[in-house]
Amino acid sequence: MMRKQTVLALAGVATTATVMVAGCSSDDTSGGGTSASGSAARSSRASSSTTLNVFAAASLKNTFTTIAGDFEKAHPGVDVKLSFDGSSTLVNQIKQGAPADVFASADEKNMTKLGDQGDAPKIFATNTLVIVTAPGNPKGIRSFADLNKPGVTTVLCQVAQPCGNASAEVEKDTGIDVKPVSEEASVTAVLTKVTAGQADAGLVYVTDAKAAGAKVATVNDPAFAKVVNKYPIATVKASKSAPVASQFEQAVLGDQGQSVLKAAGFGAP
């Protein structure tokens, strides 16, 4: 009899332990542990999230930052990652395999370099050059020709970049060969050199000068109106998010995007 009671007691302990283990397992699941339903929910959220990599010309930084913010609000789950640089630099990165979904160039020449890696580029804006100087224009620059005045230091974009190619076109049209103290990889770098006092003058886009506000004085020249840069945008064919990339393109080309670009000083397509 004693032995039988002992066996029953042990069985009771085992049953209690089993219930306790089951209870602990249930508590872990509901209290933040890994569960099938929790994993499925997180997996569903992860799959609904899309990162859209947009490579855009440096002169588009302010406008595309605004457009991207509006786009994210209108498309929950989409995270727009913006990369700004000279168009030539960006297209080289894409051709070398950089994970870009959308490419927006400051000229058609660099979009053409992308070749069949881009899908049906569309023009979404235009831009022209302007001279920027320190506030008050202390060197008295009045025209493109004045960039060669004695004692005037000028910075330009590299010819491979759209702003540099446009500068070269103006030089060709006017017969004036400007001797820059440096050639920069982006229009933003040119503007920075002038605002930092490292150069007396620089050639940038109208939109960059407008964004700089009181940090610079601007000087126009009739020759600039003849050289118009057209900005194309295209989905990169290797994109893994082509439908979303196409939607971003439409946001840039649509009324809201065009309104942002116009406010910044860009011309219509």
Does residue 190 have a known ligand-binding role?
Answer: no
User: How would you class 60 by CB atoms within 10 Å of its CB: exposed for 0-12, middle for 13-18, buried for 19 or more?
Assistant: buried
What does the DSSP assignment read for 126-187?
A: EE-EEEEESTT-TT---SGGGGGSTT--EEEE-TTSHHHHHHHHHHHHHT-----SEEESSH
Q: Nearest Cα to 132, choosing from 36, 12, 247, 212?
A: 212
Q: Nearest Cα to 187, choosing from 90, 83, 101, 58?
A: 58
Does residue 59 have a known ligand-binding role?
Answer: yes
Any residues with CB less than 8 A from the CB of 81 and at least 6 apart, and which? 51, 52, 53, 54
User: How would you class 153 by CB atoms within 10 Å of its CB: exposed for 0-12, middle for 13-18, buried for 19 or more?
Assistant: middle
Does residue 231 have a known ligand-binding role?
Answer: no
Q: Nearest Cα to 248, choosing from 69, 125, 109?
A: 69
Rounded Cα distance, 117 and 147, in Å: 39
Rounded Cα distance, 64 and 110, in Å: 19
Instruction: Give the residue numbers of the binding site for molybdate.
Output: 59, 87, 187, 205
Instruction: Give the residue numbers of the binding site.
Output: 59, 87, 187, 205
